[in-house]
Amino acid sequence: MTRRCLLGVLVIVLFFSVGLAQAAAPVLTHLDTNDKVIALTFDDGWDSSTCEKVRLILLDHEVVATIFPVASWAEGHHSLIKRFLADGHELGNHTMTHAKLTMLSLVQQEQELREAHEILAKLGGQQLTGFFRPPYGSYDKNTLKVAAKLGLRPVTWSIDSWDWRDVPTQQVVQRTLERARPGGVILMHLAARNTVHALPQIISGLKERGYNFVPLSVLFADHLVVAPISPIDRHVQVTYQGELIELKPAAKLVDGVTMVPCREFFQHFGWRVCWDAKRQLAVCQLAEVQILVQAENNSIQTCLTGRLENGKLYVPLRALATELNFRLGWDAATYTANLR
């Protein structure tokens, strides 16, 4: 075989390898970690009064979750979804109609995800993540191809709470607590038969076991998509307790994620920030508290991960809010991120 032919074969192999890798993007179920972090996720919608009870429970226990509403339902319940967003929760794509995707063609599956995204993007702004959960946890190779094409990251769960089953509430609680592991993803529902009664006990039980609750965008920060369906890159305002935070350079929305300049953000709150050029990370100190923020090409697990742009380190605002125990809300009309 001539050298030119060999090179041609290699190019073809690489081309198809990349295509297969995209189509076979892993479906996230949990994070391998020793840190006692865990994510609460809620699917569907349907009954607005039960959804509101779930929202108030989360608010009372100061837990931020990831919500996967069926878009056709969410479209008719703007005010309820907005209340979830104001509390700091984030949204994920759960299709337009809650169809079982394995029963649909590739084109139909893409339509389900695209239509859902358009509706949720209008509602959620930067609080719409790139995560996608297939209804019933059911997917096939076409589902993964469509998700890869649209820049969505499929995620299911590692703990099914059974809140949707006709079983005693205590069984739901016990099952969830027994299966909890660091980095786990808990499946619950916004209006299932057992959710309202089981949720407070699950939250309290996991907190007693030392778990911290984080949304999926924090749990899977290293798995965020590069290019969601409708990428956005524009400046946003950031407020704290209603007061505008003057940041220069300004915070900006990149691929649906609010990024803030690390040094300027921490210094606004009185932190001292030093740059460790050797390790490519920012050392942020306030009294005895220290937070490390690494550049994205590093792999230090105990650090927050940022992004270097023209010598400036930017950090996802949601990750900072979680680390600093701030609640984060979003005003889609004014592109303002509100901390409190």
Catalytic sites, residue numbers: 43, 189
At 183, is the secondary structure helix, strand, or coil?
Answer: coil
- Name the nearest CA neighbour of 23 among 147, 174, 205: 147
Distance CA(51)–CA(198), nearest Å, equals: 14
- Name the nearest CA neighbour of 252 among 242, 243, 265: 265
What is the bridge-based pairing of β-strands 90-93 and 128-132?
Answer: parallel
Total length of the chain: 340
Distance CA(299)–CA(295), nearest Å, equals: 9
Distance CA(327)–CA(247), nearest Å, equals: 19
Residue 66 near residue 131 (C-beta atoms within 8 A): yes
Residues 6 or more apart whose Cβ sits within 8 Å of residue 90: 64, 66, 67, 124, 127, 128, 129, 215, 216, 217, 318
Residue 259 near residue 244 (C-beta atoms within 8 A): no
Residues 6 or more apart whose Cβ sits within 8 Å of residue 193: 163, 164, 165, 166
